[in-house]
Amino acid sequence: MAKSSGILFFLVTLWMALSCGSPEGTFIKGKIGHLDSTYILATYLSSDSLAIDTIPVDSKGRFNHAVNPDTLTAYSLYLDHYESAVVVFADKDDRITVNGDALLPDLIKVRGNEVNDALTLFKSENEDLLKQRELLLANLRLSSELDTGNTLSRSRQEELLKLNVLNHELALRAEESIKANPAKLSSLILINSFFVQSDNPTVLERVLGYMQGEIMQSELALKLQAYSEMINRSAEGARMPYFTLKDEEGEEIRSHDFRGKYLLLSFVSTAGDDSREMIELLKEEYDQMDEEEVAFVTIYIDSDVYPMGYSESDSLAWITIPEKRGWGADIVESYNVQYIPYNILIDPDGIIKVRNIPAHGIAEVIAEASGE
C-alpha cells in the first residue's frame, strides 16, 4: 500500500511539474537574426484601440512573449526601429514560433496555427522570388540615399522595372494559391497583401470572386469587398469622382470646371527626383497643347509647409494645389492614388481615360483620341 501511494504521489508531482512547465495562454516566441535593437515592438488592435507591447530580445535574437487575444488577432512585429515588420496571427492558447532574419523580413517563417502555416508555406514555395525582391528593395534604398545625378537615377529606374516584374510574378503565384484555397482566411490575407494596391481594380474584383463559403462574411472579406467597390469608381472607363480643391490663392477648383476639356490630374511630391523629373516632362507636353482643349492640375500631396518650398510650383503654367491633408486628402482616396508621381487623364466627357499615364505620352494620347 505504501509503495502504491509513493507511485501515485510521484505521478501527481510529475503532472504538476509538466503543467507548470506548459502554462495556459498564448505565447509568441522565436529567434530573429541580425537584429540591430534589443527589443521588438508588437502592435495589435485591442478593444478598437491600437495597443503596443515592447518585447525584449537577447543577444542571439531570441524572445518569448505572452499575449491574451479573445479571438484570432494580427500582431505586427516591428524590427529594428520600424525598419521592417512581420505579421503574426494568434488565437487563444496558440503556441506561435517566429524564425528568420531581420535582413529578409518577407522570408521570416511563422508557425503555430492554420493561418500562419498556410502563409509560411506560400513563403517557402516562393522563397527565391521573395529573396530577389528583398535584395532589389535594399538596392533601391541604397541608391536613393546615394543618388546625386542622372546615372544613378537611370539605374534606379531599371531596378524599379525589375521590381515590378517580380511583384507581378508573385501576384500570379498568390492568385494560384487563392484559387486552390477559396475558403481559407490565409487566401484573404494574400489578397490583402498582393492585390489591394493594384492599379487595376478588375484584378482585385477577380480574385475576390474566387472566395467562397463562410469566410466571405468575415470582417476582412467585407472590408475588401467595400474597397473593391470604391476603387472601381475611379477605374478606367468610370465617370470621374467629384472633387473640390483650393489653389494657392484659396480659390475653389471643382471637377465640373473642366467640362469639355481633357483634364490631367497629376499627383506629385514637393521633393524627390521622380516628381521633379515628371514636372519637367509635363512642361514639355503642356507646351504642345491648346489651353482651350486641355487643362492640367498638379496636386502636391505632401505639402505640410505653406507656402510650398518647392520653387518649381511657382513656374508652372497651370493650376497647382497644395493639398494640406496630404495622403489623407479626399481626392487621394477617391481617385485611388497609391504612390507618387501619378497621372490620371480624363476625357472631355468626364470619363477616366488612362490611369498612370506616362508624362511623355500625354500629348500623343490626346492627339490620337481627338483624331488629330
- Summarize pLDDT for 115-155 with one digit per residue, the tens: 999 999 999 999 999 999 999 988 887 766 665 554 446 67
Predicted local distance difference test score (pLDDT) of residue 3 = 46
Top pLDDT among 13 and 111 is at 111
The domain 244-370 is placed in CATH, from the list 3.40.50.1950, 3.90.1170.50, 3.40.30.10, 3.20.20.70, at: 3.40.30.10
The pLDDT assigned to 28 comes to 97
What pLDDT sits at residue 154?
67
pLDDT of residue 24: 74
Handedness of CA 81, 82, 85, 88 (dihedral sign): positive
Identical fold at 20-110 and 244-370? no
> How far is the C-alpha of 272 from the C-alpha of 258, rounded, in Å?
29
Q: What is the pLDDT of residues 15-33, one digit of tens each?
A: 444 444 455 789 999 999 9
Q: Which residue has the higher pLDDT, 139 or 293?
A: 293
Please compute the mean of the pLDDT values over residues 163-179 and round it to a whole number: 95
pLDDT of residue 338: 87
| Least confident window among 76-85, 262-271, 362-371 | 362-371
Task: Please state the three-class secondary structure of the chain as a single string.
Answer: CHHHHHHHHHHHHHHHHHHHHCCCCEEEEEEEECCCCCEEEEEEEECCEEEEEEEECCCCCEEEEEECCCCCEEEEEEECCCCEEEEEEECCCCEEEEEEECCCHHHCEEECCHHHHHHHHHHHHCHHHHHHHHHHHHHHHHHHHHCCCHHHHHHHHHHHHHHHHHHHHHHHHHHHHHHHCCCCHHHHHHHHHHCCCCCCHHHHHHHHHHCCCHHHHCHHHHHHHHHHHHHHCCCCCCECCCCEEECCCCCEEEHHHHCCCEEEEEEECCCCHHHHHHHHHHHHHHHCCCCCCEEEEEEECCCCCCCCCCHHHHHCCCEEEECCCHHHCHHHHHCCCCCCCEEEEECCCCEEEEECCCHHHHHHHHHHHHCC
* Residue 298 predicted with pLDDT over 60: yes
Place of cell 475558403: 183
- Cell output for 354: 488612362
- Average pLDDT of the segment spanning 271-295: 90
Which residues are bridge partners to 86 per DSSP?
77
Tens-place pLDDT, residues 205-258? 999 999 999 999 999 999 999 999 988 999 999 999 999 998 888 889 999 999
- Higher per-residue pLDDT: 14 or 112: 112
Dihedral in degrees, nearest 10, Cα atoms 113, 115, 116, 120: 130
**Strand pairing of 342-346 and 262-268?**
antiparallel
For residue 161, what pLDDT band results from cuts at 50, 70 and 90? confident
Q: Compute the Cα dihedral for 31, 36, 38, 43 and give only its sign.
A: negative
For the chain, the structural domain boundaries read 20-110, 128-232, 244-370
Q: Work out the mean pLDDT of the chain and round it to a whole number.
A: 87
CA distance 291 to 270: 25
CA dist list (Å): 263 to 166, 318, 344, 352 = 33, 11, 8, 9
Residue type, 71: T
How high is the pLDDT of residue 153?
A: 60
pLDDT of 14 above 50: no
pLDDT tens track for 325-360:
888 899 999 999 988 999 999 999 999 999 999 998
Sheet of 319-322, strands arranged across = 319-322, 294-300, 262-268, 342-346, 352-355
The answer to whether 80 and 36 have CB atoms below 8 angstroms apart is yes
Residue 8 has pLDDT above 80, yes or no: no
pLDDT for the residue numbered 46: 85
Using pLDDT thresholds of 50, 70 and 90, give the confidence band for residue 303.
low
Cell (9 digits) for 270: 514637393
| Cα dist from 154 to 10, 33, 75, 341, whole Å | 74, 34, 38, 16
pLDDT at position 348, please? 96
Confidence of residue 114 (pLDDT cuts 50, 70, 90): very high
CATH topology of domain 20-110: Immunoglobulin-like (2.60.40)
Distance, CA of 200 to CA of 198 (rounded, Å): 5
**Closest residue by Cα to residue 345 from 234, 244, 247:** 234
Sign of CA dihedral 119, 125, 131, 137: negative
> What pLDDT digit, counting tens, does each position of 48-101 carry?
889 999 999 999 999 999 999 989 999 999 998 888 999 999 999 999 999 999
